[in-house]
Amino acid sequence: MMHSPQTLVPLDVHPTPRAAGGTGTSVKRSMLRNDAGMSMVEIIVMVFILSLIGVGLTLMFINSTTSQQHTAARDKATGQAAVLTEVFADSLRNAVAVKISADGSRLDTTMIVSDGATQWFECRSWAVEPGGDLVYSSGKTPRSDSTMPWKTLVKDVSGALPPSNHAFAQAGKQIEIGLAIAPPTKLSAADAVVIRQSVTAQARHDEKKGAVTPCLGG
């Protein structure tokens, strides 16, 4: 039996090159980049951005805290000013005699104190010391020339009456008061709480109820 001859088809042992733009090489490069992690430039940029964010948050926190402290300090100074305004108004209206020092830093008064049936006199004095303390003293005798033993009412006080920044001034029975109270945390002179007050001494002495105590020393 005769067999018909077979035709052998040659095999192409050389692989066909990938067409231009194939994805094989790009995939390998992408895998290599992923394995290598972030580059040094990328790390530096990220650290810089995070630093800016951290600085911004820190400054915002500091500004918020400082603002709260200044507000609390100013509220305290405003409260002190309100109390002093009321004290001066009540006291000076009941004054029968007033004396103010030449430099306008001290106010001495003789006050009428009465229970209705009888009346007596009390010496009350206020002074702004060179160190900025507003001090006060009261009693039945003239107050001492030295203010060292007096009670401190408010600190960081200065005169505010123009033109010489006196604390106290007088025109007849009219007493002018000008005080600037600086908050504990000062930023500028604009932060001071200023008292500008005018009070008229309205009390009248009834000689039948006793003689006026000489309070105007100092």
Q: 153-191 pLDDT, tens per residue?
A: 998 899 999 888 999 999 888 899 999 988 766 556 667
- Residue 216 included in any domain: no
Round to whole Å and give the CA distance between 97 and 106: 14
- Residue 119 included in any domain: yes
Question: Which tokens belong to 73?
Answer: 């300090």
Q: How many domains does the chain have?
A: 1
- Can you say how many angstroms the Cα of residue 178 is from the centroid of all Cα atoms in its chain? 21
- Residue 127 included in any domain: yes
Please check whether residue 97 is in contact with residue 109, taking contact to mean a CB–CB distance below 8 angstroms.
Answer: yes
User: Taking Cα atoms as reference points, which of 170, 177, 176 lies closest to residue 216?
Assistant: 170
Q: Which residues contact 216 (CB under 8 A, 6 or more apart)?
A: 97, 98, 99, 108, 110, 142
* Identity of the amino acid at 28: K
Rg (CA), the chain: 43
* Identity of the amino acid at 86: E
- Can you say how many angstroms the Cα of residue 7 is from the centroid of all Cα atoms in its chain? 105
- DSSP, residue by residue, 19-38: PTT-SHHHHHHHHHHHHH-S
Give the model's pLDDT for residue 161. Answer: 93
- Residue 45 included in any domain: no
Please identify every stretch of the chain with a pLDDT value under 50, giving residue numbers as ranges. 1, 9, 11, 31-32, 218
This prediction's pTM: 0.64
- Can you say how many angstroms the Cα of residue 156 is from the centroid of all Cα atoms in its chain? 14
* Identity of the amino acid at 140: K
- Residue 186 included in any domain: yes
- Residue 27 included in any domain: no
Q: Can you give the residue range of the structural domain that contains 155? A: 68-209
Looking up tokens 């001071």 gives 192
Give the model's pLDDT for residue 117. Answer: 73
Round to whole Å and give the CA distance between 56 and 115: 65
Round to whole Å and give the CA distance between 197 and 170: 12
